[in-house]
Amino acid sequence: KNEVEQSPQNLTAQEGEFITINCSYSVGISALHWLQQHPGGGIVSLFMLSSGKKKHGRLIATINIQEKHSSLHITASHPRDSAVYICAAYTQGGSEKLVFGKGMKLTVNP
């Protein structure tokens, strides 16, 4: 049983489209990361949030604690946004380990 689920698993979009990536989790969490994994494998943290909404450039992340759901939105998508987007959560109780979702592979075509 996966504690962190992502949908869809793959998404192909055209440049300029608005993209939404969803993440749901089945356990109580203290915070959630949105991560970007490049084709070479490296991982970068985009956001860590425990409530509300955060924005950075064309990226917006939201979280609804009651519904156990988070979304990552990309506005005006660009081919350089092509990557795997992963959500990962810290479970409640002070755990230091991140529980990862399987990731969503995004391809943005020019």
Partner 1 sequence: EPEVTQTPSHQVTQMGQEVILRCVPISNHLYFYWYRQILGQKVEFLVSFYNNEISEKSEIFDDQFSVERPDGSNFTLKIRSTKLEDSAMYFCASSQGAGATGELFFGEGSRLTVL
Residue 31 beta carbon to partner 1: minimum distance, rounded to whole angstroms: 4
* Residue 95 binds to partner 1 (criterion: CB under 8 A): yes
| Rounded (10°) CA dihedral 73, 83, 91, 66 | 20
Q: Which is nearer to partner 1, 77 or 90 (CB)?
A: 90
Closest CB to partner 1 among 67 and 96? 96
Q: Compute the CA torsion angle 33, 105, 73, 80 (nearest 10 deg).
A: 110
Question: Site size for partner 1, by CB under 8 A?
Answer: 25
CA angle 54/41/10 to nearest 5° reads 65
20 binds partner 1 (CB under 8 A): no
97 counts as binding partner 1 under rule CB under 8 A = yes
3-state secondary structure of 79: helix
Q: Using CA atoms, how far apart are residues 63 and 77, in angstroms rounded to an integer?
A: 21
**Triad 18, 24, 29: Cα angle to 5°:** 125
Q: Which of residues 28-87 bind partner 1 (CB under 8 A)?
A: 30-31, 33, 35, 40-45, 48, 50, 86
Binding site for partner 1 (CB under 8 A): 30-31, 33, 35, 40-45, 48, 50, 86, 88, 90, 94-103
